[in-house]
Amino acid sequence: MSSKTYNYERLSQDTPVSFRVLELLPGADSDPIRCYLHIANWDDHPEYETISYAWGDPNIQEQVICDDGVIHVTKSLHTALTHFRDRDRARFLWADALCIDQNNLSERGFQVKHMKKIYQNARKVQVWLGSDDEAFQAETAIRSIEAISDALYAKLGLQNAGSNHHKKKTYQELLLLRKDNLPTPQEIGIDQGSVYRALAWFYSHRYFTRIWVIQEISANEQREINVGAFKTTWDRLDLVASYLGIEPSLVALPEFANAHCWWVSTIAEITSLPDRWLSILYLASNYQCLDTRDVIYGLRGLMTLGTEEDLLDPNYEKSLIDVYRGAVEAALMHFQNTDVLLYAVGKANPAWPSWIPRWDKPMLFRNPFRFGNAASFKPTGGGLASWKIDKDANELSLKGFIAGRIEVVETYNQRWFADGILDVAGERSKLKLAWTKLLQNLSPAHQTPQLGEDTLTSMAVALSFGFGRILNETERLETLHSFVAYLLLVFEDNRGALERYIPPTLLQDVKASDGHVFGKPVWDFDYPDASIFITSRKMIGCAVSTANVGDNVFVPLGSAYPLVLEPHVEANGQSHGILGFSYVDGLMFGELAETEVTNVMIR
C-alpha cells in the first residue's frame, strides 16, 4: 500500500465552475478503498451522487488510496465509502473531505461558497448514518419508520412519500394542525418496547444535529437515508420525527430523551426562511459543527443576500470574531434595522464584543422569538438604523435615544410560569418567597405597598413581552387578570400576603380567569435569569437578562425592541455593553420618539 500523501491538482478559482468528482473503484468489503479524483465543471453536466455524513472523531482516521497517493479520512467517511462501493463497477460520488483539499484554506472557502450548488446538481444525496448496532436495530427502525409514515400519509391525505405538493407547510405544521385527529401509536401498531428503542436509537444519531445537514438536505429532493444495510427516504424520516415530537404518549418516554426529533423536523422550517436569515441563524445555533465559523458558512447558501453578500464569503483565514462581526454588518446593511442585536447575550464572555451574537451557542426559545412572528413594535416611530463599525477596535456606534435609567430592578425566571412548579409544594414555597420580594421591591412604599391597577397591567404586559403585537384595551385587561390569577395560584395557601399588594376589587374581578395560561409557553429546560425593572421615567419593563440599577434603556434607530446597556465604569460611562433586549410598556409604539437622538458606543 502506498504511503505517499496525495497531491491535489489545483482548482481554478477564476470562475465558480470547477470542482472535483470522486470515482470510487469497485471492490469487496475487505478491500482497501481506492479511487480517482477528476476535475469537473458544470458545463460538462457531470453525473454524481453526494455523500452527507457526520465527520466523527477527527483523531480516528483511515486511509483512502487515491491514484498513487494516500488521503486520510475519518472512520465515518471510510465506512460510508465501503458501504456505497459497488463490487463490479465504479461509482461517481462527491464527499467534502476527499473532493476539497482541506489543507488549502483558499480552496476550502471557495468550494464551501458553492456547496449548495454541488448538492443541488447531484443525482441523489446519499445520507450515511453509520453501521448497525450490536442489537441489530437498524431493520426494526427503518421498517417502523415506513409503517408509521404510511399510516400518516394515508391519514393526512398525501399521495405518497415522494409527494411534494404539501411543501407549503412543513410536516410539523401539518401534524400540529391535525393533532387532535392523528392515529395513536397503538392504532399504528408500534406500541412495543423494541420498536421504541429502535426508533430512539435511530433518531439519536449525531448526524441529525450537524449544521451542514441543513443545507445538504434542503438542496436536493432526492435524499436516501442509509443505516447499516437498510434505507429509507428523508420525507418519511421527517414525517415520523414530527409525529414523535408531538405525540404526547411518546414525548414523555425515557427512551426518547436523547432522540433528535426536533432537529430533524426543524430543518424544513429553517429552509423555508431565506429572507429571514437571522431566524435561520437563531434556530441553527442549536446545531453543531467542528469549526464554529461554519455556523455562518454552512448556511450561507440558504440566505437571500444583496450587495452585502461578500461579507459572508467563506474565508477560513478569518478569526471567529471577524466572521461573526461580518454577519452583524451584513444584517445591518441588508435589513436596515438593528434586529441582529436582539441575539446578543451580553456578559457571557468579557473578551467577546457584547454586540456580536454567539451563533455557536444554543439560543433559547424565549421572547420575542417564541411567538413565531416578527414583532410589530416601533419604539422610535419608524426609520432606518444608523450605525458605524470600527473593525480594529470591535466597536459599534449606534444612533438612538436613552429612554431612561433603571432605578429599581428584580430578577425573575421564565420557569416560574411552568405548571409543574406550581404543582410541587416545595417549589411553590420558593416561588412565593420570590414573588413576595419582587412585589415588595416594586411597590411605591412599604407604608402603602399596594400596587395600582395600571402598574400591575404594565407588569403583566411587560412579563408577556406584549405578545409581539399591539394589544387593545380588552387584551391588556385579560393579560392583567390572568397575571393576578397566576399570583393567586402561587399564594393559594396565604392569600393574605398577596392582598397586601393587590387591590381587593381586582382579586374579586379575576375569579373567572385562568392563572395557568399566564407566561406560556414554557419549555422543559433551564432558562437564564431575566429582569423586571422600573426606569427613571417610572416605566415598567422586562429584559431577557439580569440588569442592574444604573443600567440604561437605549432605543436604537430602526429597532423593534429597546436594549439594556451597562455603562463601562473603566470608560467613565463613555462606552457600554449590551446586556440584552427588553420590552418597556408605554415605549414600544413611539411614545418617546421625539426624545433627543445621541450616539452610543458599544463594545
- The DSSP result for 467-534, as a single string, is GGS---HHHHHHHHHHHHHHHHHHTTT-HHHHHTTS-HHHHHHTTTS-GGGTT----SSPPPPEEEEE
The answer to whether the beta carbons of residues 597 and 557 sit under 8 Å apart is: yes
Looking at residue 179, its pLDDT comes to 84
Nearest alpha carbon to residue 142 among 65, 228, 63, 55: 228
pLDDT tens figures, 23-60: 999 999 889 999 999 999 888 889 999 999 999 888 89
Question: CA-to-CA distance for 404 and 591, rounded, in angstroms?
Answer: 13
When pLDDT is cut at 50, 70 and 90, the band that residue 446 belongs to is low
When pLDDT is cut at 50, 70 and 90, the band that residue 185 belongs to is confident
β-partners of residue 387 are: 398
Parallel/antiparallel/unpaired status of strands 124-130 and 49-53: parallel
**Coil/strand/helix, residue 263:** helix
pLDDT averaged over every residue in the chain: 89
On the question of pLDDT at 366 being above 80, the answer is: no
For residue 459, the one-letter residue type is M
On the question of pLDDT at 564 being above 50, the answer is: yes
Nearest alpha carbon to residue 96 among 115, 122, 72: 115
Integer Rg of the chain from CA: 28
When pLDDT is cut at 50, 70 and 90, the band that residue 105 belongs to is very high
Residue tagged 421591591 (cell numbers) = 441
Question: CA-to-CA distance for 323 and 300, rounded, in angstroms?
Answer: 12
The answer to whether the beta carbons of residues 583 and 367 sit under 8 Å apart is: yes
Parallel/antiparallel/unpaired status of strands 49-53 and 91-94: parallel
| Mean pLDDT score, 405-425 | 87
pLDDT tens figures, 528-563: 889 999 999 999 999 999 999 999 999 999 999 999
Task: Quickly list H helices, 114-260.
Answer: 115-120, 138-156, 171-177, 185-188, 193-203, 211-218, 234-246, 248-251
pLDDT tens figures, 290-332: 999 999 999 999 888 888 889 999 999 999 999 999 999 999 9
Nearest alpha carbon to residue 487 among 495, 479, 476: 495
Within 10 angstroms of residue 174's Cβ, the number of other Cβ atoms is 18
Q: Could you write out the DSSP letters of every residue in 296-331?
A: HHTTGGGS---GGGGGGS--TTS-HHHHHHHHHHHH
Question: CA-to-CA distance for 466 and 469, rounded, in angstroms?
Answer: 6
Distance between alpha carbon 358 and the CA centroid of its chain, in Å? 12
Question: 245 is written with which cell numbers?
Answer: 415530537
The answer to whether the beta carbons of residues 182 and 248 sit under 8 Å apart is: no
| Mean pLDDT score, 500-510 | 90
Length reported for the chain:
603
On the question of pLDDT at 502 being above 80, the answer is: yes
Residue tagged 415522494 (cell numbers) = 162
pLDDT tens figures, 239-254: 999 999 888 778 778 8
